[in-house]
Amino acid sequence: MSEDTSHRKRDHINICLNEDISFRTKTNGFEKYDFIHNAVTTQDFTKIDLATKFLNYKISFPFMISCMTGGTKQAENINEMLSTAANMLKIPVGVGSQRQALENDSFHDSYKVIRKNAKDVPVVGNIGGAEVARMKSLKEIRKLVDLVEADAMVVHLNPLQELIQPEGNRNFSGLLKKIEKLVKLLDVPVIAKEVGSGIEKSAAKKLLDAGCKGIDVAGAGGTSWSAVEMKRKNNPNENENYLWDWGLPTSYCVRTVSELKKKYKFTLIASGGITSGIDISKALALGADITASARPIFIQVMDHGFEGVVDLIESWFEDVKKIMFLTGSKNIGQLNRSKIIKSEAAV
């Protein structure tokens, strides 16, 4: 069993690095928006403040390195680089699914290395919704929180991936009740996250009613996890090809979930196809509190190490700063809905 989980994580690393597994016909949706140019900006570029708060930490940028890997030998080195970059930048970092760590302790170091390097920033743990739904006792998840000294626990919801995965779990019955129990059991907040098909308003409402304190929409437009699982199969089922592009664009998810802020107190994380400072700025303007990215960071770390990740994220935020200057936004809070319009309105 643990061999299988570890092998699968290894396949994911190889496919994410070497294959074209992006959405083909769908984008993250942000191209449909324009910023409102402020010709009378009164900003001093040097005084623009990108800092914000997340899980009781002050972080330098509203950005997080998404949950990716763990549970293989190779993951230890990758996680060491990702957490080093996160600590240098003073931004949060996630660990990959900790399912493998429940099976045996062979690769515990591949998870622990994150907190070892990311001492001064939020670290979030990670477990699959399918595991949560089928676990008899959720107490084991406390051990996963302790393993990485997590500031929050992410439950990833990936019904599409499980559907395509040959060994996937197709039984999510009881999931919401289990999430509710988990929320009560843990001393840290629970964040619900998709992996590229998106969480929109009605799904988010159910998760918030269950007690989740964060929603990471992880929408469509970037990495397609049905594509990753199709690539893992020797004989992919061509009838399933329509599922390559299944999901809701990130912009739609952020816009609709942000409407729930009127009623619920939660952190809204925008991810799924975030590849630039423009995407980040539009996600923030549409209502996200912070943004996140996975595969672009993964490719960067494999090609250029932790320094490459630091350079990439700093360059994205240099662009965010320029956009804040041009829209008259002094701090992250001011980069809000009043600064963005649907593109057609701009014509």
Ligand X SMILES: Cc1cc2nc3c(=O)[nH]c(=O)nc-3n(C[C@H](O)[C@H](O)[C@H](O)COP(=O)(O)O)c2cc1C
Q: Which residues of 162-182 are buried (b: 16+ CB within 10 A; e: fewer)?
A: bebbeeebeebeebeebbbbb
* 156 lies in the site for ligand X, by CB under 6 A: yes
**Does residue number 231 form part of the binding site for ligand X (CB under 6 A)?**
no
User: Please, where are the H alpha helices in the chain?
Assistant: 2-18, 73-89, 99-103, 108-117, 129-134, 139-148, 159-164, 175-185, 201-209, 225-232, 250-258, 277-285, 295-326, 343-346
Q: What is the rounded distance in angstroms from the CA atom of residue 5 to the CA atom of residue 71?
A: 8
User: x-or-dash pattern for ligand X, window 117-136, by CB under 6 A?
Assistant: ---------x----------
- C-alpha 111/C-alpha 331 separation (Å) is 34
Q: How many CA atoms lie within 13 A of 139 on its CB side?
A: 1
Q: Compute the least distance from the CB of residue 328 to ligand X, in Å.
A: 29
Check residue 195 for interaction with ligand X (CB under 6 A).
yes
298/339 with CB nearer ligand X: 298
Work out whether 273 is an interface residue with ligand X (CB under 6 A).
Answer: yes
- In one-letter notation, the amino acid at residue 113 is V
Annotate each residue in 308-347 with x if it binds ligand X (CB under 6 A) or - if it does not, as one string.
----------------------------------------
Cβ of residue 29: shortest distance to ligand X, in angstroms?
13
Which 15-34 residues touch ligand X, going by CB under 6 A?
A: 16
User: Which of 112, 232, 295, 321 touches ligand X by CB under 6 A?
Assistant: 295
**Cα(5)–Cα(170) distance, integer angstroms:** 17
User: Least distance to ligand X from the beta carbon of 330, Å?
Assistant: 28
d(CA 271, CA 292) in angstroms, rounded, equals 5
Choosing from 222, 249, 277, 287, the residue that interacts with ligand X (CB under 6 A) is 222
Q: Which residues bind ligand X (CB under 6 A)?
A: 12-13, 16, 66-69, 96-97, 126, 156, 193, 195-196, 218, 222-223, 271-274, 293-295, 298
